[in-house]
Amino acid sequence: MTWTEKDIPDLTGRTAVVTGANGGLGFQTALALAGAGAHVVMAARDPEKTAAAEARLRERYPEASLEVVPLDLGDLSVVKAAAATVLAGHERIDILVNNAGVMAMPQRETADGFEMQFGINHLGHWALTAHLMPALRAAPAARVVTVTSTARHRAGRLDPADPHLRKNYGAWASYARSKMANLHFALGLQQQFERAGVAAQSLAAHPGLTNSDLQARSVREGGAGWLGAFFETMTARSGMTPFEGARPQLRAATDPRAKGGELYAPRFGSHGPAVRRPVLRRWDLQKQLERLWHISERDTGTRLGVAPGRP
DSSP string, 197-225: T-S-EEEEE---SB-SHHHHHHHHHT-SH
The set of long-range contacts for 288-297, using a CB threshold of 8 Å and a minimum separation of 24, is: 288/157, 288/158, 288/184, 289/184, 289/187, 289/188, 289/191, 291/157, 291/158, 291/160, 292/158, 292/181, 292/184, 292/185, 292/188, 293/188, 294/160, 295/158, 295/160, 295/163, 296/122, 296/123, 296/126, 296/185
Asked if 31 contacts 241 with a C-beta cutoff of 8 angstroms, the reply is no
H/E stretch holding 87 reads: helix 76-89
The answer to whether 221 touches 116, Cβ cutoff 8 Å, is no
Q: 61, 169, 175, 264: which is the annotated catalytic residue?
A: 175
Q: How far apart are CA 263 and CA 146, in angstroms?
A: 10
264 is annotated as an active-site residue = no
295-298 long-range contacts, CB within 8 A, separation 24+: 295/158, 295/160, 295/163, 296/122, 296/123, 296/126, 296/185
Are 248 and 205 spatial neighbours (Cβ–Cβ below 8 Å)? yes
109: DSSP letter: B
C-alpha to C-alpha distance for 202 and 263, rounded to whole angstroms: 10
Sign of CA dihedral 253, 86, 139, 192: positive
Catalytic residues: 175
